[in-house]
C-alpha cells in the first residue's frame, strides 16, 4: 500500500514538473563562442536586483540554447560574456535571436554594455512584436507632432487623444493584460511631457494610478509610478510629513503607514506600503532621518509586510543601502598573493587602498607607477593591494612573478579571472577602479579617488594626508 502511495506521489510530482511553463531562448552569438549565457529575472524595480534562473554556453558553431520555467510575461536580462541585453518573454514561448558584438552608438571595444540583438522569426502574437510595433508608432507620432510650437498649442492635445484612440482601437481585441498596461503607461509617460493642456498631478493620479492595482513586473508601469512618487517625502503635507518623521524616529512601520494614509495619492494600502519602502530608501542618505531607525523599519517590513511581495523588496532595498556605502563592512573575500591565501581580515589594522586593474586597459596599468610613489610616502600607515584581472586562460592566473618584476610592484598583488563573481559583488564595472577601507575593514569610499587628478583636481593623496595626520596624532598620544 505504501509503495503504491509513493508511486502515485512521485507520478503527480513529475506531472506537475512537466506542466510548468517553459520558455526557451536560442540563437547565434558569433562574437561570444565559449562565453557563458546567463538569464536573470529582475526581482523588483526598486532595487533592480536580479536573480539568475538559467545558463548555457555559446557552442563552437556560435549557437546557444537555454530553457527555464517562466510563469508570467516579464522583462528579463540576458548576459552574454561581459555584455547584456533585455528581452520580454512569455510563458511557453520560444525565441530565436542574433546577438551583436557591440552597438553602433558605443565604442566597439567597450565592455559590460547593452548590445544590440535581433529577433529571428518573431511571431506577431508575441509580446516583443507588439511592443516593437507600438513603440515605433509612438515614436513616429512624437517626431511628427511634438515640436517647439506644439508646446503652446492645444492642437497637440487633440492629436494625442486621436493617436491614443487609434492605438486603443487597433489593439482592442488583444488579450494580453501586460501589453495593455504597457501601452497605458507609455501614454501616461507622454502626459509627463510639457505641453499646453497637460494633466496636473491630481488628474494623473485619478486617471492612471487610482484605478490600478500594483503591477510589480510591468516595467512601464513601475517606471511611471516611481517617477510620480520620486522624492515624495518632500511633497507630503506638513502634518503628514511630521507623522512620517515620528514613525521613523519610533521605528514603527505602522505609524508611518497610517501617516501616509493621510495623503490623497496614497489611499491604496498596497501602493502605500510599496511607496513607503521607496521613501525610506530616499531619506536614508539625508541628515534628517536616523539611518539605524530606517534600517529597523525595513527589517520589520521584510518580516511582517502586509503584502508578501514587499517583504523581498524591503530586504533588497536594505541590501542596496548597505552595499559598499561608506561605513558598511567590506564583504568577505580571499585572494592568492605570492601563493599565499589572504583574507580581508588579514588587512585590518591599517587603511587599505585597493586598485583594480586590467592588463588590457593601459591607464589602469600606468597607475602602478603612481601607486608606487604613494606607497613610498604613506606605506607606514596605509596598505596597498592591486587586484589584476585577466582572461581565464591567461598564464598570469598561475604565475604573476614576471608582471610583478616588470612593473616593480612592491606591494600585494593578486590575479583574478575577469569573470570572478567578486568583481560584480564589489561593483567593479570599469578599469581602473579603486576602493578605500579603514583599519576596521569598513568602506571609506566606493569608488575611491584615483591617484590621478579628477576634473576637480582631487586625488586620493588628499585623503591619505588626513589619514596619516590622524595616525601620527594617535602615536603621539601613546
DSSP H stretches of helix in 284-419? 291-304, 308-322, 362-378, 401-406
Lowest mean pLDDT: which of 289-298, 313-322, 369-378, 463-472?
463-472
What whole-number distance in Å separates Cα of residue 43 and Cα of residue 74? 11
Interval 237-258: pLDDT, tens:
999 999 999 999 999 999 999 9
Q: DSSP readout, 228-283?
A: HTTTGGGGS-HHHHHHHHHHHHTT-HHHHHHHHTTSGGG-SHHHHHHHHHHHHHHH
Interval 254-287: pLDDT, tens:
999 999 999 999 999 999 999 999 999 988 877 7
Answer yes or no: is pLDDT of 112 > 70: no
Average pLDDT, integer, range 73-99: 95
| Size (the chain), residues | 478
Average pLDDT, integer, range 370-381: 94
Looking at residue 473, its pLDDT comes to 74
Which residue carries 511582517 as its cell? 304
The percent of residues in the chain predicted with pLDDT above 70, rounded, is 89
Looking at residue 272, its pLDDT comes to 97
Looking at residue 194, its pLDDT comes to 59
Instruction: Give the CA-trace dihedral at 170, 171, 173, 177, to 10 degrees.
Output: -170
Residues 6+ apart with CB under 8 A from 123: 129
Task: Quote the cell numbers at residue 415.
Answer: 590575479
Average pLDDT, integer, range 143-168: 79
pTM over 0.85: no
- In terms of Cα–Cα distance, which of 83, 101, 54 is closest to 419? 83
Residues 6+ apart with CB under 8 A from 145: 156, 159, 160
Average pLDDT, integer, range 455-469: 84
Question: How many CB atoms are located within 10 Å of the residue 44 CB?
Answer: 22
Cross-strand bridge partners of residue 39: 54, 78
Question: Strand 94-99 to strand 22-28: parallel, antiparallel, or no bridges (unpaired)?
Answer: parallel
Q: Are 390 and 358 in contact (CB under 8 A)?
A: yes
389 membership: H or E segment, kind and range: strand 382-390
What whole-number distance in Å separates Cα of residue 367 and Cα of residue 150? 52
Q: DSSP readout, 319-356?
A: HHHHSS-TTSBPPP-EEEETTEEEEGGGGTTSEEEEEE
Which residue carries 554594455 as its cell? 113
Looking at residue 17, its pLDDT comes to 44
What whole-number distance in Å separates Cα of residue 81 and Cα of residue 99? 11
Determine phi and psi for 340, rounding to 5 degrees. Answer: -110, 130
What whole-number distance in Å separates Cα of residue 180 and Cα of residue 211? 14
- In terms of Cα–Cα distance, which of 353, 360, 367, 323 is closest to 468? 353
Looking at residue 152, its pLDDT comes to 60
Residue 413 backbone zone (phi > 0: left; psi -120 to 50: alpha; other: beta): beta
Give long-range contacts, CB 8 A cutoff, 24+ apart: 181-188.
181/212, 181/215, 181/218, 181/220, 181/221, 182/131, 182/134, 182/218, 182/220, 182/221, 183/134, 184/208, 184/221, 185/218, 185/220, 185/221, 185/223, 185/224, 186/134, 186/135, 186/138, 186/220, 188/224
Interval 86-96: pLDDT, tens:
999 999 999 99
Average pLDDT, integer, range 150-175: 84
Answer yes or no: is pLDDT of 231 > 80: yes
Helices 219-228, 177-191: axis angle to 10 degrees equals 30
Looking at residue 185, its pLDDT comes to 95
Higher pLDDT, 231 or 118: 118
Amino acid at each position: 500500500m505504501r509503495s503504491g502511495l509513493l508511486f502515485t506521489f512521485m507520478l503527480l510530482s513529475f506531472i506537475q514538473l512537466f506542466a510548468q511553463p517553459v520558455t526557451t531562448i536560442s540563437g547565434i552569438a558569433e562574437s561570444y563562442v565559449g562565453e557563458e549565457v546567463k538569464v536573470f529575472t529582475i526581482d523588483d524595480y526598486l532595487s533592480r536586483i536580479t536573480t539568475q534562473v538559467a545558463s548555457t554556453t555559446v557552442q563552437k558553431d556560435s549557437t546557444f540554447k537555454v530553457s527555464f520555467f517562466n510563469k508570467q510575461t516579464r522583462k528579463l536580462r540576458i548576459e552574454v560574456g561581459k555584455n547584456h541585453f533585455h528581452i520580454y518573454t512569455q510563458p511557453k514561448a520560444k525565441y530565436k535571436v542574433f546577438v551583436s558584438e557591440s552597438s553602433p552608438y558605443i565604442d566597439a571595444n567597450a565592455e559590460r554594455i547593452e548590445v544590440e540583438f535581433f529577433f529571428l522569426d518573431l511571431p506577431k502574437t508575441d509580446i516583443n512584436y507588439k511592443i516593437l510595433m507600438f513603440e515605433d508608432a509612438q515614436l513616429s507620432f512624437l517626431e511628427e507632432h511634438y515640436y517647439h510650437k506644439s508646446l503652446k498649442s492645444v492642437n497637440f492635445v487633440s492629436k494625442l487623444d486621436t493617436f491614443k484612440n487609434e492605438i486603443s482601437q487597433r489593439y482592442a481585441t488583444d488579450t494580453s493584460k501586460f501589453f495593455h498596461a504597457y501601452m497605458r503607461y507609455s501614454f501616461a509617460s507622454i502626459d509627463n511631457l510639457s505641453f499646453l493642456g497637460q494633466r496636473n498631478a491630481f488628474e494623473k493620479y485619478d486617471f492612471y494610478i487610482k484605478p490600478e492595482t500594483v503591477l510589480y513586473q510591468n516595467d512601464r508601469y513601475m517606471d511611471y509610478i516611481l517617477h510620480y512618487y520620486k522624492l515624495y517625502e518632500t511633497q507630503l503635507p506638513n502634518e503628514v510629513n511630521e507623522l512620517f518623521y515620528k514613525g521613523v524616529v519610533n521605528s514603527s512601520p505602522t505609524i508611518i503607514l497610517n501617516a501616509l494614509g493621510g495623503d490623497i495619492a496614497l489611499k491604496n494600502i498596497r501602493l502605500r506600503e510599496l511607496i513607503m519602502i521607496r521613501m525610506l530608501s530616499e531619506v536614508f542618505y539625508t541628515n534628517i532621518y536616523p539611518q539605524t531607525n530606517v534600517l529597523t523599519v525595513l527589517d520589520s517590513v521584510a518580516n511582517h509586510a502586509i503584502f508578501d511581495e514587499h517583504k523581498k523588496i524591503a530586504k533588497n532595498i536594505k541590501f542596496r543601502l548597505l552595499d559598499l556605502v561608506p561605513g558598511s563592512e567590506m564583504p568577505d573575500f580571499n585572494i592568492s598573493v605570492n601563493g599565499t591565501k589572504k583574507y580581508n581580515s588579514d588587512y585590518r589594522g591599517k587603511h587599505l587602498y585597493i586598485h583594480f586593474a586590467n592588463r588590457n586597459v593601459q591607464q589602469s596599468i600606468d597607475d602602478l607607477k603612481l601607486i608606487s610613489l604613494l606607497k613610498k610616502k604613506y606605506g607606514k600607515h596605509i596598505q596597498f593591494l592591486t587586484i589584476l584581472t585577466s582572461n581565464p586562460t591567461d598564464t598570469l592566473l598561475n604565475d604573476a612573478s614576471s608582471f610583478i618584476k616588470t612593473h616593480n610592484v612592491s606591494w600585494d598583488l593578486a590575479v583574478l579571472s575577469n569573470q570572478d563573481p567578486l568583481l560584480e559583488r564589489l561593483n567593479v564595472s570599469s578599469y581602473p577602479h579603486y576602493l578605500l577601507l579603514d583599519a576596521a575593514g569598513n568602506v571609506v569610499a566606493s569608488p575611491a579617488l584615483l591617484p590621478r587628478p579628477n576634473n576637480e583636481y582631487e586625488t586620493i593623496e588628499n585623503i591619505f594626508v588626513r589619514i596619516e595626520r590622524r595616525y601620527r596624532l594617535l602615536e603621539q598620544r601613546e
